[in-house]
Structure 1
């Protein structure tokens, strides 16, 4: 089997995504081209398909540690052994089972959500790459009125869903080729929750919003 026909892993796709981001930063790709190539990279199944998005980018190639090993003939007398994964695309809280200071939500090419009666720590960190992250505070159990959220993101869609009386401050968020959309009150705090968001978003988006239907209930006095 040729190397171009080998299957690719999520780690390789993530590495190619980082190379494409670097190409955007160096002016070799527009944001539209970046999006198209990222879609191709995420859908790639083989080495040849993945390499195609880098073919015309000088100096952009997959690092040695991300390249697959050369295929070896199968020995019928030796059964392959299972090796547990060394990296999980989502790691839960870094504190106790109810969440504690320093809670971290991680996602790599994943869909991660926290909703329902989850315990919200005073400080929360989002570390994401090419993921969809949803933090729904509408039924959450709060330990403090003010929650600090620190974001370190590449190419993800992050949604903060808050109760009607909640306020959100996105002024401390730095965006690079991305967006920050605040669809709720910014302050001062008038309810049981005020979310302060800081950090950096690269080619991704952060949106603070109320649950679906809130505007209609407000319009009709419910």
Structure 2
């Protein structure tokens, strides 16, 4: 069997989907291209089919044998298959927000970069994106919190993915839409919360308007 014909798992499909979301956030793909490629990802059964959707993205390093358009060597018995490609590190540094036993609020027309890192202990943090100035549609939020409370306030039609947050004696509450980015903002949050909580919600005005139709 050729390398490109090796079967792929659900975890590999999910990983490639994250790469495509990141490409949208960095302006490499349009939403239409993202949708088309995600359809291919969900239907992919082999490495060649899966790698085809990311081979033209900057930073991808894929052995020729794992591309659908090129034959690959037959893996030796017991050999470890080549991993699904990973992107090159994004340029620039994330915005780091730190707090210790304090109240942190970001609201109004604050500038939001493609990546945020939240490092907090025993405090309260509110990130209000309703009037924020966004550089990209997709924002990656990395969280390292202990005994704190985190609130994300999103504009109407925005979406959030909190599935990659590990909680230890904590809680995660997502009150906004999930799924692929299609509105003005998509938050992809990951990290760890210990003895704390995180909530993603729309502004109270948005919720009231929806209740009133």
TM-score over 0.5 for the alignment? yes
Q: Deviations over 1:88-124 (max 9, x none)?
A: xxxxxxxxxxxx7411111100000100000001000
Structure 1: runs of 5+ lacking an equivalent:
1-99
2:72 — aligned with what? none
2:129 — aligned with what? 137
Structure 2 residue 105 is matched with structure 1 residue 113 = yes
From 66, 86, 95, give the equivalent of 1:103: 95
1:214 — aligned with what? 206
Q: Deviations over 1:172-209 (max 9, x none)?
A: 10000000100000122221100000000000001000
CA RMSD of aligned residues (A): 1.1
Structure 2: runs of 5+ lacking an equivalent:
1-91
Q: Deviations over 1:51-96 (max 9, x none)?
A: xxxxxxxxxxxxxxxxxxxxxxxxxxxxxxxxxxxxxxxxxxxxxx
Structure 1 residue 215, shift from structure 2 partner: 2.1
Structure 2 residue 164 is matched with structure 1 residue 189 = no
1:6 — aligned with what? none
TM-score (structure 2 length as normaliser): 0.56
Which protein is bigger by CA-based radius of gyration?
1
Structure 2 residue 137 is matched with structure 1 residue 149 = no
TM-score (structure 1 length as normaliser): 0.54
Whole-Å separation in 2 of the counterparts to 1:142 and 1:152: 23
Whole-Å separation in 2 of the counterparts to 1:192 and 1:101: 23
From 93, 111, 120, give the equivalent of 1:128: 120
TM superposition outliers: structure 1 runs of 4+ over 4 Å? none
Structure 1 residue 219, shift from structure 2 partner: 2.5
Contact map agreement 1:101 1:122 (CA 8 A) in 2? no
Contact map agreement 1:113 1:133 (CA 8 A) in 2? yes
Q: Deviations over 1:10-61 (max 9, x none)?
A: xxxxxxxxxxxxxxxxxxxxxxxxxxxxxxxxxxxxxxxxxxxxxxxxxxxx
Which structure 2 residues correspond to residues 155-170 of structure 1 after superposition, within 5 A? 155-170=147-162
2:69 — aligned with what? none
1:5 — aligned with what? none
Q: Which has the higher contact order (CA 8 A, sep 6+)?
A: 2
Q: Deviations over 1:111-156 (max 9, x none)?
A: 0010000000100000000000000000000000000000001000
Whole-Å separation in 2 of the counterparts to 1:219 and 1:156: 30
Structure 2 residue 191 is matched with structure 1 residue 199 = yes
Contact map agreement 1:154 1:201 (CA 8 A) in 2? yes
